[in-house]
């Protein structure tokens, strides 16, 4: 059991690195498989996984430990000590902690990342049919929004992990309106002061993520009252959030502070 579990964990890690939209599968599997296991089982399974990942590339260990193991650890901590927090708040705080560490790591290793970034850009120009202008524009966007992209990726990973672990309670998840306070403060700083820059602009966008996720729950809950197919309703909510994130943020932000009750009248 130890060997098989450890190898599966390592394999799922490699899948997560190759296909980012499946990054939630690794923490979901680890928590689901090992949540009720004894400490010995957890330690041995992780040691086997670490050995397998290091055998592929020892540099991957930083991502495995600093991202996926940390997500797992924070999940357990919030489950035990975060009873007063809404589920979306736990997800967002986890995303902020892990995303901040990733940003700090990239910052302190920015020389190497910049070199790799330029090499990757040159490869796209040489190996694809995209023009130099198209590649430059795409990489410029990623460079200017890398903070938001990192936190959006972390938010997606943690959100989907928690959803598939606890989807039977999804309709009861709540989000605090308190995250609107730093959003409003930073928005006014960005718009009406000279303190502008990539960091502030990205942070403003990051603070929208929690309410975009909350919007998905609202849509899913509303549709589920009619359709009674939670998976389908959840998918529709995700789709609407993707095509209109600004509307999702506004609606989710308002709904976090205002409880709307629809009273059905009988004719």
**In this structure, is residue 47 part of a structural domain?**
yes
Total structural domains within the chain: 1
Assess if residue 24 is contained within a domain. Answer: yes
In this structure, are residues 162 and 220 in contact, taking their beta carbons and an 8 Å threshold? no
Are 34 and 41 in contact by the 8 Å Cβ rule? The answer is yes
In a domain? residue 72: yes
Residue matched to tokens 């010995």: 40
Per the model's pLDDT, the better-predicted residue between 264 and 68 turns out to be 68
In a domain, 139, yes or no: no
152-208 pLDDT tens trace: 999 999 999 999 999 999 999 999 999 999 999 999 998 888 777 888 999 999 999
**Over the Cα atoms of the chain, what is R_g?**
21
Instruction: Label residue 264 by pLDDT band (50, 70, 90).
Output: very low
Report yes or no on 95 lying in a domain. Answer: no
- Residue at 18 is within a domain: yes
Instruction: Residue 19: give the domain boundaries.
Output: 1-82
d(C-alpha 166, C-alpha 86), whole Å? 13
H-type alpha helices, 166-244: 180-192, 198-206, 209-227, 230-243
In a domain, 91, yes or no: no
Each residue's pLDDT tens digit, 39-68: 888 888 889 999 999 999 898 899 999 999
pTM score, whole prediction: 0.90
Domain-located, residue 22: yes
Nearest Cα to 29, choosing from 15, 44, 39, 18?
A: 15
């Amino acid at each position: 059991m130890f060997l098989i579990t450890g190898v599966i964990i390592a394999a799922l890690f490699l899948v997560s690195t190759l296909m980012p939209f499946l990054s939630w599968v690794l923490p979901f599997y680890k928590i689901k498989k090992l949540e009720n296991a004894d400490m010995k089982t957890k330690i041995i399974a992780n040691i086997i996984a670490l050995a397998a990942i290091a055998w592929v590339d020892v540099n991957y260990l930083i991502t495995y430990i600093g991202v996926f193991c940390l997500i797992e650890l924070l999940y357990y901590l919030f489950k035990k000590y975060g009873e007063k927090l809404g589920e979306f708040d736990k997800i967002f705080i986890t995303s902020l902690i892990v995303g901040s560490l990733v940003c700090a790591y990239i910052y302190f290793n920015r020389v190497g990342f910049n070199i790799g970034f330029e090499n990757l850009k040159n490869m796209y120009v040489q190996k694809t049919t995209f023009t130099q202008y198209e590649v430059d524009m795409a990489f410029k966007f990623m460079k200017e929004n890398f903070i938001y992209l990192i936190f959006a990726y972390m938010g997606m990973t943690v959100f989907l992990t928690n959803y598939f672990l606890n989807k039977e309670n999804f309709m009861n998840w709540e989000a605090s309106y308190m995250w609107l306070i730093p959003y409003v403060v930073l928005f006014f700083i960005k718009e009406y002061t000279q303190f502008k820059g990539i960091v502030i602009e990205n942070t403003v966008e990051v603070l929208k993520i929690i309410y975009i996720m909350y919007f998905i729950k609202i849509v899913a809950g509303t549709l589920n009252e009619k359709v009674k197919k939670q998976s389908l309703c959840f998918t529709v909510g995700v789709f609407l959030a993707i095509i209109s994130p600004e509307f999702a943020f506004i609606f989710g932000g308002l709904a976090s502070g205002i409880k709307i009750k629809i009273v059905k009248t009988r004719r």
